[in-house]
Chain A
Amino acid sequence: MRFLPAGPSALLVELSNQDEVLAFAEEVARRREGGWGSTISDVVPGARTVLLDGARRPAELAEEIAGWTFQPAQREQAVPVEVQVRYDGPDLADVAAHWGVSEREVGEIHASLSHRVAFCGFSPGFAYIDGLGERWKVPRRPTPRPQVPGGSVAVGGAYTGVYPRSSPGGWQLIGHTDLVLWDDARQPPALLGPGTPVRFTAR
């Protein structure tokens, strides 16, 4: 664990890998439920970091956290969210070529992998879903699209993403889903929060 400054009222905790990030975020959530860290307004996981925003004395907080031990992330307990996908995206051919497989196999392979939300960012409800690993990583598109339709299922780097609404986007579009990912009235409003297991199935 490394502690990096993030201004006078926040602390950025850097960890070794995605699993550690989720494990640490879970530990923070557990302690907050018990009343710890009442000034912290936001706990924001990233690819290798967790940001604690609202820390009054970041250096002291770092000292305290350095003494923590925490369990590995709880994988088994959470119920996976199933995302039904029609694998018919405009970049299917490009991804197939990169993977060295047929276009139809792209959907089969993608749906066969084990996916989990690593963190959210970029847009409300946009989840960076871990699961492609080194083997199935893809480059982002050289030029982002100014508009990607809401519901698009895309891959970029080692992540899968589902665009909750229309927005610019630079990832490879492999399909689309009708699943409603964001609902203001729902508690929590996002279906795909950090740590959520995801199962993609072909429709």
Chain B
Amino acid sequence: MQDGGRPGFAHLGVPRSGALDRAAAALANRLVGNPEGAAVLETTLDGVGLRLEGQAVVAVTGAKAAVRLDGRPAAWGMPVYVPGGSVLDVGRAELGARSYLAVDGGFDTPQVLGSRSTDVLSGFGPPPLTTGERLPIGWPCGPVPPVDFAPYRFPAPEILVPLHPGPRGDWMTPAAEEALFTRQFRVSPTSNRVALRLAGPPLERSQVEELPSEGLVWGSVQLVASGQILVFLADHPTTGGYPVVAVADRAAGPGCAQARPGDAVRFQRARPVSGQGPSRRR
């Protein structure tokens, strides 16, 4: 279960969490007339099957997957009208990794610190769903938009991640920085909601001392002791003691969320955003 997450508690060690592919979750919600932050089901590689007790409108976005209503093919990426008692099935991800299923009214499970999201790092929020579990659904909130198909950009064969400067870019050697922006990396199977872990050429650090723990943001590219890098995602820890050499642009969010083990990743320098300047000393 995921929603917009629980911002505002990072100073107590609580990850923000929330849907990994925020754009896909928001779209699924809009397609059924929900506010964008309503709780949705996030599936990873495998699908999910639901029996709706009463009639409902659902939408499936994110990873491309076969959608079936009582065994018959139904639309992906569009509102689907489900009669009471029907079984809706979302199949395995065919393109991408994570599908999102929204229902009109949103899922109405208990909140923890104002959010229904499950955070896999700390175990916060509701536990992962089990077969036979009953999920309450809220009252429908808004009109279902009359759409034929909502355009959605599918993941490219090579995931391009634009990078902004991070706080510890000077902890890479020039050769490491060169490698970061020219070499190809591959998504490791140990990747999860906490981080996209990458296999690739080891990047050399220019400093050997330990870094005192400091706050982390979404998209932080951390260079760990072995020379490997990872990109922190929604369930990232709030502080870390390894250097963050760059920060991924939010535009890379869907690509990172939909990355499958073995996918290729390439980094490029992001265009500077206005108001973002070099560091300065006082």
Which A positions have Cβ atoms within 8 angstroms of B? Answer: 1-10, 12, 14, 41-51, 53-54, 56-60, 62, 66, 119-126, 128, 165, 184, 188-190, 193-194
Contact = CB atoms under 8 A, between A and B. Distances in A.
Given A7-B219, A128-B213, A119 B239 contact: yes
Smallest CB-CB A-B distances: 3 pairs: A57-B275, A51-B215, A121-B239
Interface string B214-257: 11110110000000000000000111100010011110000000
B213 A58 contact: no
Chain B, interface residues (CB within 8 Å), range: 35 or more
B237 A41 contact: no
Interface string B264-282: 0000001001111111111
B212 interface: yes
B215 A49 contact: yes
Nearest to B210: A157
Interface string B38-81: 00000000000000000000000000000000000000000000
Nearest to A184: B112
Contacts of B13: 120-126, 190
A189 B279 contact: no
A59 B214 contact: no
Nearest to B170: A4
Interface of B: 7-14, 16, 112-113, 121-124, 164-168, 212-217, 219-220, 237-240, 244, 247-250, 270, 273-282
B280 A184 contact: no
A120 B12 contact: yes
B217 A53 contact: yes
Contact of B165 (A5, A44, A119, A126): A5
A121 B247 contact: no
Contacts of B215: 6, 12, 42, 44-46, 49-51, 53, 121
Contacts of A126: 13
B10 A6 contact: no
Nearest to B246: A7
Contacts of B278: 5, 59
Contacts of B11: 42-45, 119-120, 193-194
A119 B10 CA distance: 10
- Which of A7, A119, A121 has the most chain B CB within a 10 Å cutoff? A7
A62 B8 contact: no
B282 A1 contact: yes
Given A12-B167, A46-B239, A121-B238, A57 B274 contact: yes
Contact of B273 (A8, A12, A119, A188): A8
Contacts of A53: 10, 215, 217
